[in-house]
Amino acid sequence: MGRKVAIIGAGISGLSAAAFAAKAGNEVHVYEKNSTPGGRARQFRTENGYTFDMGPSWYWMPDVMERFFEDFGYHANDFYELIPLDPQFEMIGKDGNLSIPASYEKLREIFDDVEPGAGKRLDKFMRSARFKYEVGMGQFVHKPCHSWREFMTPGIVSSAMRLSLLSNFRSYVKKYFRHPSLRALMEFPVIFLGASPQQIPALYSLMNYGGYILGTHYPMGGFYRLIDAMRQIGEELGVHFHFDQPIEKIVASGSKISAIRVKGQNVPVDAVIASSDYHHTESLLDPMERNYTDAYWRSRTFAPSCLIYYLGFTEKIPRLRHHTLFFEYDLDDHIDAIYKRKRWPENPLFYACCTSKTDDGVAPEGHENVFLLMPLAIGIDDEECIREKYLHSMIQRLEKHTGAVNLLSRLDYKRSYCVRDFVTDYNAYAGNAYGLANTLSQTAVLKPGIRNRQLSNLFYAGQLTVPGPGVPPSIISGKIAAGELAKLKKEVYETAV
């Protein structure tokens, strides 16, 4: 057996890092504070027959997941059935509703119906978005980002102007579309990046291609099927999983880690990849061993937290899609509540996911499984009475859209999840749900580094480092961290006594 590597956290980036590190011949041990793998992508089952994915629900950029499986000699369909959704989702807007089809030709027709001539402009937008996707996902996101010199390749330099690196996403969208509904539709995907479209580089139009063109999918059995598959690959490669075992201390000797402390015992290791919350990971080190100060973290722009409700209804809800965006109110007002006013929004936008529309196995027969999510400022008060107030508001809008009556009286399961829960379960800084926002000042080399500057055998993975938040970037992040581990000289791994 090779070098002994500890992975902190069994979230998506940790599972990815574990698989790649084990494939390279290391003895890999994954330590997870919770009782199951997945991190924010965990799943739970209720006693009365519901199955809820706790976090990610948009299966976008399927090529990234497929590439992960191919790296280990598999395909996604070896583990689960992937269903393309049609319509992909519905957006409820103040100027009308838009149902987004799987067919690009039908999408183009919708654009022309809303705004004459917008179909041709959509073609131009998507050609550019495809180029950004192929360059961005093919070259940009796989860099460890130690230096800007990594991006000084002939291919990237020659593509720089076409990548729209210095323009913001909102201004970029306005060049193509005038109608508010179309602008909102094109801005929606970058909300996953955790900031206002005015702060997100136009490069990220690649997400429009990755979502609307590559399609929205659903793995039968739930998003957790991806987690099961990643864990299975790790176990086949010899990865050891240790659940309910939070790390208490990262122990260093000189310029490298010698052990991790688990349940009061020091466990010797040759290297560590920390996929846990970056700020929390650094709290396990002595102050002089940390990359960043608390002042640094306070200065960062974090993606939002969120209020989530997991709901089970005793009857089917008409007219509700698998994915529905409730965007009847102003996006900027909600964003200002998150980043400027740092308080609960007055007229919030929210998202509803009803997996039982596609998958009969996630709810009892004739029942409905619904997940509601509303973005929030980090670090705010989230008492149960406040959560309940917003649940009632979201349910009223759900009833208005679907024509359903008295939905609250038809609830037979309810669980809320909010800021404090993200802190408790994931040690998430200020209760953030999605990591750091992908603003221009927090992109690539400007993100927290993937290597510790004082300890040569400590690496970081996950949504607070490169390449950023989201499921596909987290998979890639784990691979990058394992690649950095492989670069170390052999003598680094001699265990300190």
Whether pLDDT at 127 is above 60: yes
CA–CA distance, 194 with 345 (Å, rounded to integer): 16
Look up tokens 């260093």; give the residue: 252
Phi, psi of 232, deg, nearest 5: -60, -40
Q: In what order do the strands lie in the sheet with 305-313?
A: 96-100, 89-93, 323-327, 350-353, 368-376, 305-313, 411-417
pLDDT tens across 33-65, in order? 999 999 999 999 999 999 999 999 999 999 999
3-state secondary structure of 412: strand
Look up tokens 């599972």; give the residue: 15
- What residues does 415 pair with on adjacent strands? 310
Residues of the chain above pLDDT 70, percent: 98
Name every residue whose Cβ is closer than 8 Å to that of residue 127 and which is 6 or more positions away in sequence. Answer: none
Residue 112: exposure state from Cβ atoms within 10 A (0-12, 13-18, ≥19): middle
Average pLDDT, the chain: 95
What does pTM read for this prediction? 0.96
Residue 164's pLDDT band (cuts 50, 70, 90): confident
- The mean pLDDT of 115-123, rounded to a whole number, is 98
Residue 268 is encoded by which pair of tokens?
């010797």
Residue 158's pLDDT band (cuts 50, 70, 90): confident
Name every residue whose Cβ is closer than 8 Å to that of residue 25 and which is 6 or more positions away in sequence. Answer: 2
pLDDT tens across 306-337, in order? 999 999 999 999 999 999 999 999 989 999 99
pLDDT of amino acid 491 = 44
pLDDT of amino acid 395 = 98
**CB atoms closer than 10 angstroms to residue 420:** 13
Whether pLDDT at 1 is above 80: no
CA–CA distance, 230 with 171 (Å, rounded to integer): 39
pLDDT of amino acid 496 = 41
Residue 497's pLDDT band (cuts 50, 70, 90): very low
Residue 472: exposure state from Cβ atoms within 10 A (0-12, 13-18, ≥19): buried
